[in-house]
A and B are shown apart, each in its own frame.
Chain A
Amino acid sequence: MGLKTPLYDAHVADNAKLVDFGGWDMPIHYGSQIEEHHAIRRDAGVCDVSHMTVVDVAGAQSRAFLGYLLANDVAKLTVPGKALYSAMLNEEGGILDDLIVYLTEDGYRVVVNCATREKDLAWMEKQSSGFDCVLTERPELAILAIQGPESLEKVKAIVTPERAKLISELKPFVGRFSGDWFIARTGYTGEKGVEIILPGTDADAFWRAIRGAEITAVGLGARDTLRLEAGMNLYGSDMDETVNPFESNMGSTVVMTDDRDFIGKSALLVAKTTKELVGLVMLEKGVLRGHYPVFSQGLQVGEITSGAYSPTLSHSIALARINIGAGPLEVEIRNKRLPVRKVAPPFARNGKQAYQLTDES
């Protein structure tokens, strides 16, 4: 038996199929992954992501610490509540994790991946030693992602008037406290929605209210196909310590142009980037999957890092790391090479196709 979120019993009551996910017993689906996927693209769905790790950073030098720790620059966060997506690099420029950091009234709130929790916490603690700041993990908190075109209206109907007003006022990629709930217009699906970080003791009652508001329970299976359609990287699949942000379609999240020093910067300044992370679409029948080899003109030029059948597009999509500029591309599936087109992610957002085929595809 693995670790349980405060919503474990609620998942069992909702007939979840539970699987081990980074040491946690988590719902992979509640019956049909594809129906859950469509619920978020077309209506509203809720996903328990309480297994993710929340770390609050407080103290006079919090900003300086995060400025040194992260490849993206927290100085961009000038308005409380604003969120920033960033890689956390090692000295060699390899990606230790990707994370979201929110500027709060008292400091910063950082949300990192669950599978990397221990490594991340040890690294952050070690790197913070020269700074006047305190890191506090918040394992008592639950996190619910409520996403989909109808999600905001449906959530507003079941929270206090004050929180409903807050949700109406929040701009995308901004989060605010309301009492001990932190409500943010962020997500991992490419749809409108909120992520709510709340005390674990409030989670079960809120889950029941959410389910009573005809918001579909969504497992981590659909969460993965939604994030892939949205063109978002998954740590451990699309990037890890062996690759840098430029090889991971994350160059725009690295701020290198000023004199700020950050961990990994000196390595990135001299890095020779020969690989790129690109989107692939396959219009033939079949499913692209992680680690399938990618070929161009008979030679292997890379491999798929994440692949899936896209329920929104009704064909398969993938992210692949290939030699820069390679093409035309084929993917080998069970000893057969099938043509794929190279596209710029995202593949689908806001309920519909978001990629374009070009002459270079």
Chain B
Amino acid sequence: MSEFPGELRYAKSHEWARVEDDGTITVGISDHAQDALGDVVYVELPEVDAKVAASGEAGVVESVKAASDIYAPISGTIIAVNTTLEDAPETVNESPYGDGWFFKLKPNDLGELENLMDMSTYQKLCEAEDH
């Protein structure tokens, strides 16, 4: 069974967003998403300082199965990317909510988080996709 941490917000495109203490946002893909993708073999990350729009392209994750775009869950400026994924893309499978994070961004407006799903809504979406 996939995990759905309660403190995160989730996008329909299966990214998660976590608000850090300093008001920045960490973004990754959900456990459900990594499970559906299968073994991740390559991750293309955005450039630091890039401006991203909500639901705008912000990278690519390639698994043994398919290439999938990664979207920014809310708008902002990229302030850090997880360069360990370049040499260890399997970290996305092993720790989707921890060491497998993709990037951090400085949000334009934290209020955009309201457009994302909470854990229980997202979990229902995933269950619906499985059936």
Give A contacts to B, CB under 8 Å. Answer: 28-29, 32-34, 221, 225, 285-287, 289, 308-309, 334
Report the interface size for chain B: residues with CB under 8 A from the other chain: 14
What chain A residues lie within 8 Å of B93 (beta carbons)?
Answer: 32
Give Cα distance in the complex from A28 to B37, angstroms: 12
Given contacts A32-B93, A34-B41, A287-B41, 17 further A-B contacts (CB under 8 A): A28-B65, A32-B39, A33-B39, A33-B64, A33-B65, A34-B39, A34-B90, A221-B38, A285-B86, A286-B42, A287-B62, A287-B67, A289-B66, A308-B64, A309-B41, A309-B42, A334-B60
Q: Which residues of A contact B62 (CB under 8 A)?
A: 286-287, 309
Q: How far is the CA of A221 from the CA of B38 in the complex (A)?
A: 10
Q: Which one, B38, B42, B65, B66, contacts A285 given CB within 8 A?
A: B42
- Is the CB–CB distance between B60 and A221 below 8 Å? no
| A287 to B40 alpha-carbon distance, docked (Å) | 11
What are some 14 contacts across the A-B interface (CB < 8 A)? A28-B65, A29-B38, A33-B38, A34-B64, A221-B64, A285-B42, A285-B86, A286-B44, A287-B62, A287-B67, A289-B66, A289-B67, A334-B60, A334-B67
Chain A residue numbers with a CB within 8 Å of B86 are 285
Residues of A within 8 A of B39 (CB): 32-34
**Smallest Cβ distance from A227 to chain B, in angstroms?**
14
Q: Which residues does chain A contribute within 8 Å of B42, judged by CB atoms?
A: 285-287, 309
Whose C-beta in chain B lies nearest to the C-beta of A310? Answer: B41
Give every chain B residue within 8 A of A334 (Cβ-Cβ).
Answer: 60, 67
Q: Give the chain B neighbours of A286 by CB distance below 8 A.
A: 42, 44, 62
Q: Which residue of chain B is the closest to A289 with respect to CB atoms?
A: B67
Residues of B within 8 A of A29 (CB): 38
- In the complex, A76→B90 CA distance in Å? 47
**Complex contacts, B60 vs chain A, CB 8 Å:** 334
A309 in contact with B64 given A32-B39, A33-B38, A33-B39 (CB within 8 Å): yes
Q: What's the least CB distance linking A224 to chain B, in Å? A: 9
A348 to chain B, nearest CB (A): 15
A285 to B42, CA, bound (A): 7
Residues of B within 8 Å of A225, CB to CB, are: 64
Complex Cα gap A134–B94 (Å)? 54
Q: Which residue of A lies closest to B57 (CB)?
A: A334
What is the minimal beta-carbon distance from B126 to any residue of chain A, in angstroms? 15
Find chain A residues with CB under 8 A from B65 CB: 28, 33, 221
Which chain B positions have C-beta within 8 A of A308? 64
